[in-house]
Amino acid sequence: MIHFSNNIQDALDSLLIPGRFDAVFALTDSNTKPLGKDVLARWVPDAHFITIPTGDESKTLNIATQVWNHLIEHNATRKSCLINLGGGVVSDLGGFCAATYMRGIAFINIPTSLLAMIDASVGAKNGINMGNMKNYVGTFTDPLAVIIHSPFLKTLEPHHMINGWAEVIKHAIIGGGELWKMTKTIPPIEDERRWNDLIEANIQIKKNIVETDMHEAGLRKVLNLGHTVGHAIESWHLMKGKHIEHGQAVAAGIRIESAIAVDIHVLSQQTYAEIESRIDAVFERISMNKEDFSIIIDFLRKDKKNAFGKINMSLPCDIGTVQFDIPVELDIVQHALLNYAITAGSTSI
């Protein structure tokens, strides 16, 4: 159930009816803790707050164990509820902890970032990283509800807003039509109506796909556009002990995978140029050297979407058409990485 609400109190009142839960817990990160204490605590005064460090580094088994221990120490039962207030990391980790604690307790996602509003908090996927491998352990579990409150976007720093724009571009390539037109420019943050329309259009595209294929047996794989290469780039950075925004990695992944689609003749050069223009208008290119390619390709080989020893990708065929489970040969991947590195002005190529 997705609530678009200017009054979170009303949405919570309809969900947290007396007698439904024996305790309510709230998961925040360091950034959203003040928001939770100042705002959510007023709405849910009896909530137990759990705060994790900000960033993807918190999507680990160690942090998940800390969350589980907090639930145990404060006597959470199967009749308890966890509210996840934050961005994609909070949604992913909180959903995973709730889905596995006592084999599953109810959870509500209240996303505070663009990325979480249109992607991480919607669609029933949740999980944690294992070492450098992105989202390697998780479940498909629906939240009880998602509460979308677009004014939270005004609290974001510009780079967090841009981080979510990669998923907007991804959904627009998949859905085409009016949403693709909407990605020509990022709306002013003050234009609440346009943001609500944009968020709703993104959620509708994902919702329609997920309702058809919740467990990613087929059609849902189109939502992996940009993420096969994008996750490999994130894992490469994690291995080096460096941070990269998820959106920046996915934007690079969309661009590289679109170039692969051109190389294997499923995407026209003209449409590729259109996609490239949308990405380059917002995202800087990532510097990489030729010696990095083997590391990135090794992570691609370990991608959880692969089967039968092949690297499988979801690739654009046109705006509004994405095909999944396309096997891609290594020489094609290397060629696309090389071209990307050259255009990014990388050295040692």
Mean pLDDT throughout 65-89? 95
User: Domain with 312 in it: what CATH number?
Assistant: 1.20.1090.10
For residues 205-233, give the mean pLDDT. 93
pTM flag (> 0.85):
yes
Residue in the block written with tokens 């005064």: 45
Q: Which of 107, 122, 156 represents a domain boundary (last residue)? A: 156
Residue 161 lies in a domain: no
| 348 has pLDDT over 90 | no
Q: Domain end: 156, 184, 206, which one?
A: 156
pLDDT of residue 346: 61
Instruction: Give CA–CA dist 216/206, Å, rounded.
Output: 12
List of E strands, the chain? 2-4, 23-29, 48-52, 80-86, 106-111, 125-130, 133-140, 145-148, 312-318, 321-327
The answer to whether residues 192 and 264 belong to one domain is yes
Contact 64, 128 (CB under 8 A): yes
Range of the domain at 121: 2-156
| Nearest Cα to Cα of residue 346 among 291, 300, 276, 298 | 291
> Whole-number mean pLDDT of the chain?
90
Q: Quick check: 330 and 260 in contact, CB under 8 A?
A: no
Classify residue 275: in a domain, yes or no.
Answer: yes
Three-state secondary-structure class, residue 266: coil
Same domain, 175 and 250: yes
Domain endpoint, select from 156, 181, 205: 156
107 and 212 share a domain?
Answer: no
Q: Are residues 173 and 61 in the same domain?
A: no
Is residue 349 situated within a structural domain? no
What is the spatial distance between Cα 149 and Cα 153, in angstroms, rounded to a whole number? Answer: 8
- Whether 42 shows a pLDDT value over 80: the answer reads no
Structure confidence at residue 110 (pLDDT):
94
CA dihedral sign, ordered 223, 141, 133, 157: positive
**What pLDDT is attached to residue 189?**
86
- Based on the fold, state whether residues 114 and 199 are members of the same structural domain: no
Q: Are residues 302 and 177 in the same domain?
A: yes
Q: What is the pLDDT of residues 55-76, one digit of tens each?
A: 888 999 999 999 999 999 999 9
pLDDT at 132: 82
Rounded average pLDDT over 43-65: 89
